[in-house]
Amino acid sequence: MAASHARQMESTGIHLIDPRDGLDTLGRLLRSNVAQVGVVPADWPKLLASLFGNAPPPFFEKFAQPAGEQQERILPLLEQTPPDSRREQLESHLRRIVISVVGHDVFASAGDDPSFFELGMDSLMSLDLRNRLQRELDCNLRSTVAFEYPAVRELADYLISAVLPAGMFA
């Protein structure tokens, strides 16, 4: 039962504290003058997405963005890009998101336009990809978007034809 609860917490972004780390942290807190404190090892983007979906309250906006992830949203970036370079910019941005989701540069040794799943993406990562795209584009996407458009070019084609503002790539 405890293992099931731990898996459920992990799936929402709350991680267990390693016993040694917990004791070390407790020792430091007992030596401090802090009156109230909470220690939660959390994957903040995942936790906030599980609590608030695509729209975390303003107080949490900085926590909703994974550390090290490209801070610039794709729409303003595309609007500043010359029209003949927008598709290349979109595909480059999608690659950065996939790299962030998978956790390492999966395109360095991959072929021309590999499937996300050939790159090591699993079903949970595909939902993370979808959630990040929804946040960036302020839209709703089906949970199967990475399965239906399983490569950067296919996903870019879909976004251009069905999600991004009409005429942006004309």
On whether the CB atoms of residues 125 and 150 are closer than 8 A, the answer is no
Strands of 49-128, DSSP E = none
Alpha-carbon gap, residue 132 to 116, rounded angstroms: 15
In this structure, what CATH number is given to the domain that contains residue 115?
1.10.1200.10
Give pLDDT, residue 42.
80
Backbone φ, ψ for residue 37 (5° rounding) = -155, 150
Let me know if residue 153 belongs to a domain. yes
Can you give the pTM of this predicted structure?
0.60
CA torsion angle 78 102 139 155 (round to 10): 60
Which residue, of 46, 64, 82, is where some domain finishes?
Answer: 64
Q: Count the domains in the chain.
A: 2
Identify the CA nearest to 155 among candidates 111, 109, 99, 91: 91
Same domain, 6 and 34: yes
Give pLDDT, residue 70.
45
Let me know if residue 69 belongs to a domain. no
Q: How many Cβ atoms from other residues are within 10 Å of residue 39's Cβ?
A: 12
3-state secondary structure of 159: helix
* Residue with more model confidence, 72 or 86: 86
Same domain, 138 and 90: yes
Which residue, of 31, 64, 97, is where some domain finishes?
Answer: 64
- Residue whose token pair is 């003058």: 33
What tokens were used for 118?
């050939």
Same domain, 48 and 115: no
Same domain, 42 and 86: no
User: What are the tens digits of pLDDT across the range 28-76?
Assistant: 888 888 778 888 888 888 888 778 776 777 777 667 766 555 456 788 8
Identify the CA nearest to 147 among candidates 124, 170, 117, 109: 117
The residues, any chain, with a CB within 8 Å of residue 135's CB and separated by 6 or more, are 54, 64
Let me know if residue 94 belongs to a domain. yes
> Which structural domain, as residue segments, surrounds residue 83?
74-163
Same domain, 101 and 21: no
Give pLDDT, residue 147.
95
